[in-house]
């Protein structure tokens, strides 16, 4: 009964774990690559302009990156959150309908307590018979 939902959940969990591991590996590789690119840029700048100038240029570049990140954060914090979606309207239960309740009260007054109780018992029996699964015959092979 629960095999399909459990299999679906296992698949989603497996995909999520593998995606997370792949993302962590990709992020680590990107950080290492960024480190090597920065080192290469520093060495090239040092060769052409000297060590002090190369260090100042690299520091200025990272300061600009940090300032851009701070500006983006400030802009994002000033945004107003989107309005929440409207709550779905719930239909009232059929048994809470005032007209139905009034009709049931009138019927119970007209028939009397004993007849209403008998009708409820018979209705419950018929409903139980209707929802019961069909019995297998003894001559049919069981699966």
- Take residue 47 and report the two structure tokens written for it: 């060769």
Provide the token pair at 127. 């409903």
Over residues 17-44, the mean pLDDT reads: 92
Answer yes or no: pTM beyond 0.85.
no
Residues 63-102: tens digit of each pLDDT:
999 999 999 999 988 888 888 888 888 777 766 778 877 8
Give 88-113 as a DSSP string. Answer: PPPPPPGGG-HHHHHHHHHHHHHH-H
Q: What is the pLDDT of residue 138?
A: 67
Whether 20 contacts 29, CB under 8 Å: no
């Amino acid at each position: 009964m629960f095999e399909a939902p459990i299999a679906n959940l296992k698949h989603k969990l497996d995909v999520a774990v593998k995606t997370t591991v792949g993302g962590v590996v990709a992020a680590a590789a990107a950080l290492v690559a960024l480190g090597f690119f920065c080192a290469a840029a520093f060495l090239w700048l040092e060769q052409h302009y000297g060590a002090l100038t190369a260090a100042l240029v690299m520091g200025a570049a990272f300061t600009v990156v940090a300032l851009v990140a701070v500006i983006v954060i400030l802009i994002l914090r000033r945004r107003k959150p989107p309005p929440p979606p409207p709550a779905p309207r719930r239909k009232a239960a059929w048994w809470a309908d005032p007209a139905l309740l009034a009709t049931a009260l009138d019927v119970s007054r007209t028939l009397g307590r004993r007849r209403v109780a008998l009708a409820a018992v018979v209705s419950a029996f018929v409903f139980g018979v209707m929802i019961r699964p069909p019995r297998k015959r003894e001559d049919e092979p069981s699966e």
